[in-house]
Amino acid sequence: MTLSPIRKIFQGVADRRQMFRLFDRHEQRPNAHPADDQHLYVGEWFEISPENYQYMFDILPPLWMEWDMFALSRPLTGALTSIFFNLKVSDRPRYFHGYCDLSDRGSPERMKQSIIVRESRPVCTMTRDERLEHIWSITHDDYRGYAGERWPIADRGKRTVLFYGGRHGSLLKLLDRLTDDEIAAKLPVHLRYLPEAIAA
């Protein structure tokens, strides 16, 4: 599975329960080896509340901090670490979590700039990739997974979601092959009709 370098994985502000689910939304991956799976996490980000930003700051002493971000002192794996951002976007303070590879010294700053650019759009829009990532993030573990041995070799290991196919019953489909209509059906109502954004 190839994921884009920096990507928004959840629309809206994640509450406490959602935040902890999003921290490890790849938990069900097959043959999980944290050292080999860094590419699944690095670059993922989402918005959190100021209360959850403070909660995470208070849990452990930061590994390091700057005026608008801090790194959690316990890495997910290797140099992959949670970075929490306190950013001013369109003159309003907002708070975010992202996974950065600290072996790349410029990673937190690049993520910060990407978040600011993405969240400074004048209207609420979503790219196709953002829609798919949101679907993956909100789907219960029982209804999402990874293509196994019964799938063609080229598809094995790709993400799948259970889709209600009407008179055909429920079908397991590859996430990245959902049609526009299927994507709309899986999204919450308030996100279904947002304009399509052009991926940066």
- Residue-wise pLDDT tens digits, 52-93: 999 999 988 888 898 899 998 877 777 889 999 999 998 899
Q: Report the chain's mean pLDDT, rounded to a whole number.
A: 87
The CA distance from 102 to 82, in Å, is 10
The pLDDT value recorded for residue 122 is 66
Task: Collect all residues with Cβ–Cβ distance below 8 Å to 120 and sequence separation of at least 6.
Answer: 89, 90
Q: What percent of the chain has pLDDT over 90?
A: 56
Q: What is the mean pLDDT of residues 121-138?
A: 88
Domains of the chain by residue range: 7-119, 130-192
The CA distance from 169 to 55, in Å, is 43
Task: Collect all residues with Cβ–Cβ distance below 8 Å to 15 and sequence separation of at least 6.
Answer: 49, 52
Q: Is the pLDDT of residue 1 over 60?
A: no
Q: Is the pLDDT of residue 46 over 80?
A: yes
Q: Quick check: pTM over 0.75? A: yes
> Band of the pLDDT at 200, cuts 50, 70, 90?
very low
